[in-house]
Amino acid sequence: MRWPAPRVLLAASLAALALAACLVAVGGCGGRVATGPQHYTNAVFGVSITVDRRLPQWRATATDAGAFEVSFVDPTGAVAGGRHLDALTVSLADTGALPSGSSQLESALGALGAALVDKLGAQAQAGTVSDVTINGLSGVVVPYAATVSGRAVVGWLYLLASSGRIYALTAQATADRWSFYRPLFTQAIDSFRVR
């Protein structure tokens, strides 16, 4: 048997080592993304949500005025104008007194949801507002479609009320990737809880 030249052995060894390092670092050089649940809890604002790891937490902010926001984005997803378009965002605004009757509350939330979608711009369209209940929280969902920096996006805006606060869950993706993100968004929204 004839052994390869030392340079060939060294090159083959380095290539094998690089492949092994790649497999450890990213779960395969094919760029496999981790999947499965990641749990987010904000004890100060009393919320929790479970989001698929394909949407890692990107940022969280809070203000002294009683508001917070946390976003989960696909780091490989679409970006336009410096903004991730494929994302799930949870936010809270302390609203003080909300209407107490459930039909009045849902009517107020529906009007607010439609107004928020209108703020997306002239090319935004709100769908039919529907009543929802998620883990005991009453609210509404407003489906929408918009154009952001020339990209068609679709999404859901959920507005849920609890103890004088409105929690907004926005799930949005480019129209061509909505079918991929929709089940990830649905699982996350269904897991949303307020203590």
Residue 70 has pLDDT above 80, yes or no: yes
Tens of pLDDT, residues 129-161: 888 999 999 888 889 998 888 889 999 999 888
Could you identify the residue written with the tokens 């690089």? 18
Threshold 0.85, pTM exceeds: no
Which of 98, 58, 99 lies closest to 76 in space, CA to CA?
Answer: 58
Backbone phi and psi for residue 106, each to the nearest 5 degrees, phi listed first: -65, -35
Tell me how far apart the alpha carbons of residues 60 and 83 are, in angstroms, rounded to a whole number. 15
Q: Which CATH architecture has domain 34-194?
A: 3-Layer(aba) Sandwich (3.40)
Give me the count of residues in the chain: 195
Percent of the chain that is helix, strand, coil (3-state, to 5): 30, 40, 30
Cβ 170 vs Cβ 89: under 8 Å: yes
| CA 163 to the chain's CA centroid | 24
Q: Helices (DSSP H) in 73-126: which residue ranges?
A: 102-118
Could you identify the residue written with the tokens 């902010």? 61
Domain ranges of the chain: 1-32, 34-194
| pLDDT on residue 164 | 78
Mean pLDDT of 37-53: 90
Tell me how far apart the alpha carbons of residues 189 and 8 are, in angstroms, rounded to a whole number. 54
- The encoded tokens of residue 83 equal 């903004």
